[in-house]
Amino acid sequence: MNAVSHNYTDIAFRSIESEAMHILRETAAEFRNPTLLFSGGKDSAVIVHLAYKAFWPSPIPFTLLHIDTEHNFEEVIQFRDDTAKRYGAKLMVRSVGDSIARGTVVLGREDESRNPHQAVTLLEAIDELKIDACIGGARRDEEKARAKERVFSVRNEFGQWEPRSQRPELWDLYNPRLAKGENMRVFPISNWTEADVWRYIAAEGIHLPSLYFAHEREVVERSGVLVPITNLTPIGPREKSQIRTVRFRTVGDITCTCPVASTASTMDEILEEVISARVSERGATRMDDQASESAMEERKRAGYF
Amino acid sequence: MNDNHILRAPLRVTTAGSVDDGKSTLIGRLLWDLDAVPIDQRANLERDMERKGRTIPDFALLTDGLLAEREQGITVDVAYRYFASPKRKYIVADVPGHEQYTRNMATGASRADCAVTLIDARRGVTVQTRRHLCISALLNVRTQIIAVNKMDLIGHDLRRFTTIRDEIADFSQRLGRAIPETVPISALAGENVVTKSGEMSWYDGPPLLDLLDAAPGESYRAELPLRMPVQGVNRPQTKEYHDFRGYMGRIESGSVEVGQKISVYPAGLSTVVTGIYIGATSVQRAEAPTSVCITVADELDVSRGDLIADPANAPQVARRLSADLVWLDRANLDMRRPYLIKHGARTHQAKVESLDNLLDITTLSQIDAEGQLATNEIGRVTLRIGTDVPFDLYEDNRATGAFVVLDPATNATLAGGIIRGAAA
């Protein structure tokens, strides 16, 4: 299979690419200050590219906003800055560290994961920057709770998702209306699967952080999951680390993102691996989702993206 | 690895049926048999089987996403599922069957190319079955497939199956619809879902998946007259593109070519296409459903919400419309109040002048309205709109024949609207 030969004229792509561009154009038209949540991960990199295509030759009409836990891999931060430059987009960064300094985030333990605290920093940024819509890269195929998410999803002033009172979404007619204090989350690639994302990245030649490709890394195996050894995630007293050939399937906070064993170092090899994927994306790589069956739903209710 | 399906548009499917007809089980079975269940989720199901002493996995655990659903053992909201057969990709709206959630059925059917309605072979055709067939017909879902489920629980009885199939055929004809393909299955045991069942040798048709693989997708839209709602005007005003002025939108139906004459509605001004862009790539021709940016020869007054269309197959333009409203909200229609309608890329002020009749959603026949339109009811209304609306009949074109009713006070999505014509 030659993945790179699949360009936008492929009818399956055209349908979901055009749907995403349609959603981005509705968002630009219907909101006063829409913002694109950009983490440096593959899904948000795809959205930046879709926004570029949707509005060319005008610049991307959304500010890129990174909610930074300050516990990121260096390559991802470099990639984030390079991507904003490459697409000529404005980038803003708001960090969990600032929320800690302000006293709005209190850590239970010094070394706990900052990932759940991003919700607080995001709400503070929404308030400060007067953002009315946040565009995100979530996909319905990622997780069971996300399968029920709307394309235009209303959040209350605490950022909370109310699955029981979601608005019905008929045809492609999205309801953009908000009451005071409410905020919209918009998910243009709702209907994409992980394989679609990779095929599109290959077809469009979208840049990604090197972490997504196979490399050697010091890891330790904990209950079936490979945990990278970093300053933030040191090795335990009775553990033994090993050098393994791995790659990341999702890229996020160091303290809760794990690589998988893989030798896929080219786009075609990754496609091959993803299309025949035997482990769900989040199950394999996210410690925060392994806590319980309903982990994602609980975090979404609490204001996670 | 078979990768052919990426060359075909995904098929959008909606499931329908009463509570306990086994919709979640069917989707779980499809995922399971197509090997689309990741090993960690497969392991969860196997642990659950062991704990409960079951021999077949509880497929509903794959699809029932929310805490409340798992606690009650029922599906309460539309959930979207994705899988691929060797032939194509599927986007499935898994819709709950409770009466009070009929609105979710309309949500799923509004976008669907194909509806799969499940019937419990033991119970046969119910009021809820008829309601779902009516909603599929009303929302013009092109392909209807009936899956008579739980055949294993009635000893794979041919006579029982034939009775149900004939009743469905008769009802579909009364609705003015084609007779649907009807397939006897057991979702739980996996009979006639992905592979043919050895238990029902009397059935000579294909299994359900083959019917789905053969169903027509959205490609028919490219054959309809050109319609492209303008989502925005693209004016970069940069040095390099100082004079660029393009109209952004998705071609909802038909196709467009450089050099083609087009008109912009409701004003009806005509011009010629000079450029078509998909991102920075210039193309000579594009067809539905492609998002493009179009440049034209003349400087026209075009803004968001206008409709670019083929003047040889022009849309109608009117200020008063006859439409069916599928009422979704808990609060009833209040004819004293102004509403908003979102149609294409424009939001209009509108008032409901009259509620002309209600539709019996188990027969699609008209019944007298007594001044009320409540949740899950469908009513024919006359709408008065503040501005000219370019439209097509819903049965001719979903994109220009549908709208939603929004509440300017509560911001709720109150109803789905289906345009039946200009009002007399």
For residue B295, give the CATH number of its domain. 2.40.30.10
Q: A258 and A147, same structural domain? A: no
Beta bridge partners of residue B276, listed in sequence order? B283, B294
Average pLDDT value for residue range B396-402: 96
Which has more pLDDT, A110 or A219? A219
Is pLDDT of A261 > 60?
Answer: yes
Q: What is the overall mean pLDDT for chain A? A: 83
- The whole-number average pLDDT for the span A175-199 is 92
Residues B166 and B78 in one domain: yes
Most A-contacting residue of B250, B253, B405 (CB-CB within 10 A), to test interface: B250
Q: Which residues of A touch B227 (CB under 8 A)?
A: none
Alpha carbon distance A54, A35 (integer Å): 15
**Cross-chain CB nearest to A168 (options B38, B107, B345):** B107
Residue A271's domain comprises 210-288
Say yes or no: A276 and A194 in one domain. no
Domain C-terminal end among B178, B196, B216:
B216
Is residue B55's pLDDT more than 70?
yes
Residues B194 and B251 in one domain: no
More confident residue, A270 or B278: B278
B197 and B50 in one domain?
A: yes
Whether B345 sits inside 8 A of A29 (CB atoms) is yes
Q: Are residues B53 and B119 in the same domain?
A: yes
Q: Are residues A27 and A111 in the same domain?
A: yes
E strand intervals along A69-214? 91-95, 133-135, 152-155, 183-186
Residue A15: list chain B partners with CB under 8 A. Answer: 9-10, 218, 289
Same-domain check for residues A109 and A220: no
A184 shares a domain with A141: yes
pLDDT of A164 over the 70 cut: no
Are residues A135 and A247 located together in one domain of the fold? no
Question: Residue A7: pLDDT above 60?
Answer: no
- Could you tell me if B35 and B47 lie in one domain? yes
Q: Give the pLDDT band (50/70/90) at residue A302.
A: low
Query: Are A294 and B67 a contacting pair at CB < 8 A?
Result: yes
ipTM greater than 0.85, yes or no? Answer: yes
Indicate whether B34 and B152 sit together in one domain: yes
Residues 6 or more apart whose CB falls under 8 angstroms from that of A208 comprise A42, A45, A79, A201
Mean pLDDT of chain B, nearest integer? 89
Domain count for chain B, please give it.
3
Clarify whether residues B95 and B177 are in a common domain: yes
d(CA B415, CA B413): 6
**Are A206 and A199 a contacting pair, CB within 8 Å?**
no
Interface of B with A in 340-399 (CB under 8 A): 342-343, 345, 398-399
Q: Report, as an integer, the average pLDDT of B329-354.
A: 95
Same domain, B92 and B22: yes
Torsion of CA B325, B330, B333, B339, to 10 degrees: -80
* pLDDT mean over B26-45: 80
Q: Which residue has the higher pLDDT, B243 or B273?
A: B273
CB-nearest to A173 from B231, B291, B402 is: B402
Residues A47 and A153 in one domain: yes
Among B19, B11, B21, smallest CA distance to B187 is for: B21
pLDDT of residue B101: 64
Q: Dig out the tokens for A286 from the structure.
A: 């996210």
**Per-residue pLDDT at A299:** 53
Query: Chain A contacts of B108, Cβ < 8 Å?
Result: none
Residue B339 pLDDT more than 90? Answer: yes
- Specify the amino acid at residue B285: R
Which residue has better confidence, B149 or B81?
B149
Q: Which pLDDT score, from 0 to 100, does residue B305 have? A: 97
- What SS3 state is found at B11? strand
CATH number of the CATH domain containing A200: 3.40.50.620
A92 and A237 housed in the same domain: no
Last residue of a domain, one of B313, B337, B370: B313
Co-location of B229 and B191 in the same domain: no
Please report the pLDDT score of residue A253 as a whole number: 75
Residues A122 and A170 grouped into a single domain: yes
Give the range of the structural domain holding residue B358, as residue numbers without chain letter. 316-422
Q: Tell me, yes or no, whether B87 and B23 share the same domain.
A: yes
Position B65 scores a pLDDT of 54
How many independent structural domains does chain A possess? 2
The pLDDT of residue B302 is above 50 = yes
Q: Which residue of B has its CA nearest to A273?
A: B1
Q: Which of B5, B110, B293 sits opposite A170 (nearest CB)?
A: B110
What's the rounded Cα separation, in Å, for the pair A98 and A83?
A: 24
One domain, residues B305 and B331: no
Of A6, A17, A57, the CB nearest to B6: A6
Clarify whether residues B398 and B283 are in a common domain: no
pLDDT of residue B230: 98
Q: Which of B 216-275 lie inside 8 A of A, CB atoms?
A: 218-219, 231-232, 234-236, 238, 240-241, 244, 248-250
pLDDT in tens, B200-212: 999 999 999 999 9
CB pairs under 8 A between A and B: 186
Nearest Cα residue to B80 out of A281, A12, A143, A137: A143
Do A149 and A179 lie in one domain? The reply is yes
Which residue in chain A is spatially nearest to B1 when comparing CA positions? A1
pLDDT at B63: 65
Q: Tell me, yes or no, if B409 comes closer than 8 A to chain A by beta carbon.
A: no
Q: Give phi and psi for A194, each to the nearest 5.
A: -60, -40
Asked if A54 lies within 8 A of B106 by C-beta distance, the reply is: no
Over residues B342-359, mean pLDDT: 95
Say yes or no: A224 and A117 in one domain: no
Q: Are residues A181 and A135 in the same domain?
A: yes
pTM, two decimals, is 0.90
Q: Is the pLDDT of residue B191 over 70?
A: yes
